[in-house]
Amino acid sequence: MIHNKAGRAKDTSTNNDTPNQPGNSTLPKQKSRDSTPPSSRQSKRRRASESENYDMSKKEKEEGKESIKHDQPGEALAQASESALLGEEINAKQEAPIREKPAVIEERSGLIQFRVVTNDNKPDSLVILTGLKHIFMKQLPKMPREYITRLVMDRHHWSMAIVKRGLQVVGGITYRPFPHREFAEIVFCAISSTEQVKGYGSHLMNHVKDHIKDVSPIKHFLTYADNYAIGYFKKQGFSKEISLPQSVWVGYIKDYEGGTLMQCTMVPRIRYLEVQSFLATQKRLIQARINSFSRSHVVYPGLDVFKNHKDEKRDITSQASKVELIVQPNEVPGLKETGWTPEMDELISRSKRGPHFAAMRHILVELNAHASAWPFVAPVNANDVPDYYTVITNPMDLSTMESKLENNQYNTVDDLVQDAQLVFDNCKLYNPASSPYAKCAVKLEKFLYERLPQWKQAAGLSV
């Protein structure tokens, strides 16, 4: 089920003469999201004008056009892009076919159609709207039935329905356009539970986006999504970040308890029904461009030395089977072409860490974990102890020791122990012997020298 309304509806629309606003006791009370909404009379005139302009724009842009059925989406775009950028560089025989969703295949074969309808009193429109109403009621059980009926049949609302033969509706989206404000509100979105594994939801949303861009100046969608539908809307390009100013939409869209307001801004130059083909074309072009600079796609044959030695190795008495095969890097086909040089092998063979790095790392971990290490974990804050760096001219702490270890500044374990001793000496120099800091230094120093022989022995070092 794909749906975008949760809980009970709370209509914030300021229009008092349209079905968008609850008008009976069976629906929740009106909730305003704006302290200064437009007046009722101005709102009615403005919305009626917007609806009329949407109808006129729709009729003008659909004159001479076919229905919104796309038989081969992206074909022209793919051919133009490839010929313009790479000419015949891409071999058509090697191109993998685009994997199409069942919804696309069914539309092309005529099993389903996408019909845009409104309550214009035409028989087909009323049949489709009634089918949509029943699907919304079934898939959105928390919505009052009267409320769903009122919005679906509202003459200010439009719906795009997925229709099978016999005007059987299997899903759809009901929306309200606000052309002069350049946004539309998605009121309901649902697919029949028996048709939810065919990609109908994504294909339907792509149809709605392309259709609205074709017939109106609308650039944005707003909708309230429940917890189950947030994932679906994110996949369709919706976001919880609302970039539209509140003055554009507050007081115009319906508010829902428990719903999350989401926005989608359409990309003007994109045909959403052709996105899959467009992305596949981009991938092919990028791969072809990479191949023009790189040799990573070239496959070389195996080394003959292993192939020739294979038969000899079967004979356990053969002297050749006891000889270790050595292949020089410059004999490997294609290695030089990648930019390999003998100096690279030397660089890789160099150890990034000293031979005693692990042992010194273990010592620092043990010191940091000791109960008396807390005064020495970080450098002394000069703001807390103003004269500290006047008395202590060579400060040291455990975090500084860690940094020096990571930067390979300790050649031996004794070098690290020397810095640890500096930590203890500085503490006892600055603080009285009776202070808790000096006592911590004594305890940690004792712990270090008691465990040091054991740590060295474990690392294979001389004690």
Global model pTM greater than 0.75 = no
| pLDDT value of residue 6 | 41
Count of beta carbons in the 10 Å neighbourhood of residue 111 = 12
E-state strands within 215-329: 220-225, 255-256, 260-265
- Neighbouring residues of 59: CB distance < 8 A, sequence distance ≥ 6: none
pLDDT tens digits, one per residue of 183-202: 999 999 999 988 888 899 99
Mean pLDDT for the stretch of residues 246-252: 93
List of domains in the chain: 9-280 (3.40.630.30), 304-349 (no CATH), 357-458 (1.20.920.10)
Burial-class residue 25 by CB neighbours within 10 Å (0-12, 13-18, 19+): exposed
| pLDDT value of residue 197 | 82
Instruction: Choose from 23-27, 50-54, 374-378 the range with maximum mean pLDDT.
Output: 374-378
Q: Pick the residue with more confidence: 344 or 70?
A: 344
| pLDDT value of residue 16 | 38
Q: How many Å apart are CA 186 and CA 193, to the nearest integer?
A: 20
pLDDT tens digits, one per residue of 83-99: 444 444 444 444 556 77
- In this model, does residue 71 exceed pLDDT 50? no
Q: Where does the pLDDT of residue 460 fall: very low under 50, low under 70, confident under 90, or very high at 90 and above? A: confident
188 contacts 139 by C-beta, under 8 angstroms: no
Q: Are strands 220-225 and 183-191 parallel, antiparallel or unpaired?
A: parallel
Q: Pick the residue with more confidence: 167 or 322?
A: 167
Q: Are strands 168-178 and 183-191 parallel, antiparallel or unpaired?
A: antiparallel
Q: Percent of the chain scored above 90 by pLDDT?
A: 52
Tokens representing residue 67 in the block: 């229905």
DSSP readout, 348-375?
Answer: HHS-SS-TTHHHHHHHHHHHHHSTT-GG
Q: Where does the pLDDT of residue 72 fall: very low under 50, low under 70, confident under 90, or very high at 90 and above? A: very low
| pLDDT value of residue 46 | 52
Q: How many Å apart are CA 159 and CA 142, to the nearest integer?
A: 21
Mean pLDDT for all residues in the chain? 80
* 262 beta partners: 223
Annotation marks residue 185 as catalytic: yes
Choosing from 107, 185, 274, 445, the catalytic residue is 185
Instruction: Choose from 185-194, 253-262, 289-298 the range with maximum mean pLDDT.
Output: 185-194
